[in-house]
Amino acid sequence: MRKNHHTHTPRCGHAVGEEWEYVQAAIEAGYDALGFSDHTPWPGSIFPSTRMGLEELPGYIEAVKNIKKQYGDKLEISCGLECEYYPKHMTWLKERIEEYSLDYIILGNHFDYIDESEFYFGRCRTKNDIILYLKTAIAAMETGVYDWLAHPDLYLSEYYKFDDTCVKAAREICYASNNLGVPLEYNLLGLMSIKEGRFPGLGYPYYKFWEIAAEENCSVIMSVDAHSPEHIKNTAIYDEGIDNIKKFGLKRLVFTKEGLVEAD
Ligand SMILES: [Zn+2]
Ligand SMILES: [Zn+2]
């Protein structure tokens, strides 16, 4: 059975489809587990096309609870958030995890430590940009708050050459992932985007990154990163992702009620 725990909702301002549409799509596509993990709000965040507003968070939690009541007998529904690493807001985040009994937190290392007005890591153009991405990712993984690292190769989106800095970043992220027990996510939205030619640079998932991940014995969780129910319905890309992970010789994990366990 298929599983996906990286699903957005329109609250983030760049996804479409109501919760029930994602759930229906998942049931039709043969999923037995679907987790919502919309982009977290942060205190003071003001960018409505990146994430929900702070005042929308209770409604998001409530909506996932309701959909669970409605469809919980058909598939396992869970509730998490995709979060950056902003040291100054970690207390706030830990309080929300507790308040809402969130099932998991995905590290979406999109932005530098201040807020989304800062530099987007999908636009790394220089070696220094990549080093900043690397440092932020590792510092975040070291907190123990995050269950896995989304699209660890995000830094290749607009970077043209897999040079020494890219290798260093890959090597150190993979080493930290293994060492700290924070698995890496193989991102299917990226795989779809590569096929559609939507990355100006190497894009992700990039095979040289995953060859290093295999050398470092990393564990991988595969996610759709659904921003539309159509992404859930794309079972061809799902199957291709599973195949790719096998070809790299990577160990695949899935998220369950018991946490991350090895896939069958
Ligand atoms: Zn998004
Ligand atoms: Zn996402």
- Residue 259 has, within 13 A of its CA and on its CB side, a CA count of 6
- Work out the pLDDT band at 91, boundaries 50, 70, 90: very high
Instruction: Match 């957005």 to its residue by tokens.
Output: 8
Check: CB of residue 20 under 8 Å from CB of residue 49.
no
Indicate which ligand has the atom closest to the C-alpha of 189: 2
Question: At residue 68, does pLDDT exceed 90?
Answer: yes
Question: At residue 87, does pLDDT exceed 70?
Answer: yes
End-to-end CA distance of the chain: 10
Ligand 2 centroid – CA 32 distance (Å): 20
Ligand 2 centroid – CA 8 distance (Å): 7
Indicate which ligand has the atom closest to the C-alpha of 185: 2
Indicate which ligand has the atom closest to the C-alpha of 150: 2
Angle formed at CA 37 by CA 31 and CA 43, multiple of 5 degrees: 170
Ligand 1 centroid – CA 14 distance (Å): 6
Ligand 1 centroid – CA 122 distance (Å): 12
Ligand 1 centroid – CA 211 distance (Å): 26
Q: Which of 47-51, 90-94, 128-132, 251-255 has the lowest mean pLDDT?
A: 47-51
For the segment 163-180, the average pLDDT, to the nearest whole number, is 98
Question: Can you give the residue ranges of every domain in the chain?
Answer: 2-262
For the segment 8-25, the average pLDDT, to the nearest whole number, is 97
Ligand 1 centroid – CA 17 distance (Å): 13
Indicate which ligand has the atom closest to the C-alpha of 36: 2
Read off the tokens for 110: 């999109």
Indicate which ligand has the atom closest to the C-alpha of 109: 2
Per-residue pLDDT, 46: 75
Read off the tokens for 227: 């921003």
Helix (H, G, I), strand (E, B) or coil at 54: helix
The class (CATH top level) of 2-262 is: alpha beta
Say how many residues make up the chain.
264
Structure pTM?
0.97
- Work out the pLDDT band at 117, boundaries 50, 70, 90: low
One-letter identity of residue 202: L
Per-residue pLDDT, 113: 66
For the segment 51-70, the average pLDDT, to the nearest whole number, is 97
Which of 79, 4, 81 is closest to 254 using CA atoms? 4
Average pLDDT for the chain: 96
Ligand 1 centroid – CA 72 distance (Å): 25
For the segment 71-92, the average pLDDT, to the nearest whole number, is 96
